[in-house]
């Protein structure tokens, strides 16, 4: 069998959010990553199955992505100073998710065959990595981008029609109060609005004001154009747009 690493890595030129990241089909809106929930779940299942192989290869990080003609599984082992790329041509009759499943299954079968032959786990893993395209000068490509996201504000921002970008403004208090006034004029019971809705707006207003006095963040890691695997959690993270917050 021809080593997967002998193929040339693809150049990803499509715009993020314009094609389904599971089946590759074109989608209408930039805000969607998948043509359907079922399509995303299918890829997620296939990626979850591959975590056993990635653990076996001692992967610190890994990513999966594809172009119109190729799909790529990149991984960075804990004990290596190089990125290993497993590259496979896209098939005409299968989705990228299905091609990924076939590729990871084939790699797993190769590992087991070598393990049975040598009776050594490390020799089987070494054999599999030799099938990959080794890139010693590309370590940064698998180091995930990080975003600091405000904690516990998603619903409150929606209630007041605010954006996360607003939280970086030096005039945040004024923005919060103006947003609350706008929504209160629409939903106040004295103006025909719902009492329950007004109470939700007021709760959101108080929560965001409290956050503005003592901002807290959680760290989100990943890539905007590919699935990301973190060996510490043994989980895949779906692509998402990231903007670093300070």
Rounded Cα distance between 64 and 79, Å, is 20
Q: Are residues 121 and 184 in the same domain?
A: no
Nearest to 10 by CA among 107, 74, 87: 87
DSSP-derived letter for residue 141 is G
Q: Are residues 199 and 106 in the same domain?
A: no
Tokens 């905007």 — which residue? 224
pLDDT digits 0-9 by tens, 168-206: 888 999 999 999 999 988 888 888 888 888 899 999 999
Q: Are residues 25 and 53 in the same domain?
A: yes
49 contacts 65 by C-beta, under 8 angstroms: no
Does the residue 178 lie in any domain?
Answer: yes
Does the residue 244 lie in any domain?
Answer: no
Q: Are residues 208 and 229 in the same domain?
A: no
Does the residue 195 lie in any domain?
Answer: yes
Rounded Cα distance between 46 and 57, Å, is 17
237 contacts 228 by C-beta, under 8 angstroms: yes
Give the number of other Cβ atoms within 10 Å of residue 56's Cβ. 17
- The pLDDT score that the predictor gives to residue 10 is 45
Give the number of other Cβ atoms within 10 Å of residue 191's Cβ. 10
- The pLDDT score that the predictor gives to residue 214 is 85
Does the residue 245 lie in any domain?
Answer: no
- The pLDDT score that the predictor gives to residue 148 is 73
Q: Are residues 22 and 109 in the same domain?
A: yes
Q: Are residues 115 and 156 in the same domain?
A: no
Per-residue pLDDT at 84 exceeds 70: yes
Nearest to 61 by CA among 228, 239, 237, 227: 228
How many separate domains does the chain show?
A: 2
Residues 6+ apart with CB under 8 A from 229: 47, 51, 54, 59, 61, 62, 63, 64, 75, 235, 236, 237
Per-residue pLDDT at 137 exceeds 80: no
Which range of residues forms the domain containing residue 91?
Answer: 4-144+222-237
């Amino acid at each position: 069998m021809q080593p997967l690493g002998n193929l040339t890595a693809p150049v990803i030129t499509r715009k993020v959010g314009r094609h389904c990241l599971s089946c590759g089909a074109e989608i209408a809106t930039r805000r969607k990553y998948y043509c359907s929930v079922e399509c995303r779940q299918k890829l997620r299942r296939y990626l979850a199955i591959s975590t056993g192989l990635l653990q076996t290869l001692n992967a610190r990080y890994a990513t999966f992505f594809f172009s119109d003609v190729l799909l790529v599984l990149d991984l960075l082992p804990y004990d290596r100073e190089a990125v290993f790329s497993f590259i496979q041509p896209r098939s005409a009759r299968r989705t990228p998710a299905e091609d990924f499943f076939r590729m990871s299954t084939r790699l797993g079968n190769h590992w087991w065959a070598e393990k049975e032959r040598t009776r050594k786990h490390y020799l089987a893993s070494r054999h599999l990595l030799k099938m990959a395209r080794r890139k010693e000068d590309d370590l940064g490509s698998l180091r995930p981008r990080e975003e600091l996201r405000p904690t516990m504000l998603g619903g409150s921002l929606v209630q007041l029609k605010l954006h996360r970008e607003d939280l970086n403004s030096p005039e945040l208090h004024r923005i919060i109060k103006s947003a609350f006034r706008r929504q209160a004029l629409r939903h106040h019971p004295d103006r025909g609005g719902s009492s329950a809705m007004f109470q939700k707006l007021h709760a959101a207003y108080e929560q965001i004001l409290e956050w503005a006095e003592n901002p807290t963040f959680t760290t989100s890691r990943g890539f905007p154009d590919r699935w990301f695997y973190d060996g510490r959690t043994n989980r895949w993270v779906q692509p998402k747009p990231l903007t670093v917050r300070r």
